[in-house]
């Protein structure tokens, strides 16, 4: 059974800092891993999808890395802004078995960027 842990649980930083959010997972049999953000009372917005064969994926100020064999992914946010304040969730996607394709979520990192 896949277990996903995100560290830290919460982070409060001043604007402009570079941030690192960590995600670890126990089952390396995955197709890919998605990073999402969730604003209060809203659905999930997909930020990055990184395939199991990739090491990194970039979109604007966001960069995600994946080390499938060690069960780790990291989301880097450069030059943080108050608009980045949200909960960030990582979710590896299961490969194999009857429930393949399923995303398993961590509890998220609550990020607050203050001006």
Partner 1 sequence: EAGVAQSPRYKIIEKRQSVAFWCNPISGHATLYWYQQILGQGPKLLIQFQNNGVVDDSQLPKDRFSAERLKGVDSTLKIQPAKLEDSAVYLCASSRTRSYNEQFFGPGTRLTVL
Q: Give min distance, CB of 76 to partner 1, in A.
A: 20
Question: What does the alpha-carbon distance between residue 114 and residue 31 come to, in Å, rounded to a whole number?
Answer: 36
29 φ/ψ sector (left φ>0, alpha ψ -120 to 50, else beta)? beta
Q: Who's near 69: CB < 8 A, 6+ residues apart? A: 28
Q: Which is nearer to partner 1, 19 or 93 (CB)?
A: 93
Residues in the chain: 115
Residue 70 CA to its chain's centroid (Å)? 16
Q: Is 44 in the site for partner 1 (CB under 8 A)?
A: yes
Our finding on whether 4 is near partner 1 (CB under 8 A) is yes
60 binds partner 1 (CB under 8 A): no
Interaction between residue 27 and partner 1 (CB under 8 A): no
Choices 12-20, 39-47, 60-68, 78-86 (CB under 8 A): range interacting with partner 1: 39-47
In the set 25, 93, 111, 113, which binds partner 1 (CB under 8 A)?
93
């Amino acid at each position: 059974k896949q277990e996903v842990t995100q560290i830290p649980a919460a982070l409060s930083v001043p604007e402009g800092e570079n941030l690192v959010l960590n995600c670890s997972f126990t089952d390396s049999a995955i197709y890919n891993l998605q990073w999402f953000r969730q604003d209060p009372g809203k659905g999930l917005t997909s930020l990055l999808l990184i395939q199991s064969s990739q090491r990194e994926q970039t979109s604007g100020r966001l960069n995600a890395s994946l080390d499938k064999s060690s069960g780790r992914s990291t989301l880097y946010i450069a030059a943080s802004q108050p608009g980045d304040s949200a909960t960030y969730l990582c979710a590896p996607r299961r490969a194999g078995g009857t429930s393949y394709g399923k995303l398993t979520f961590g509890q998220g990192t609550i990020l607050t960027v203050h001006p």
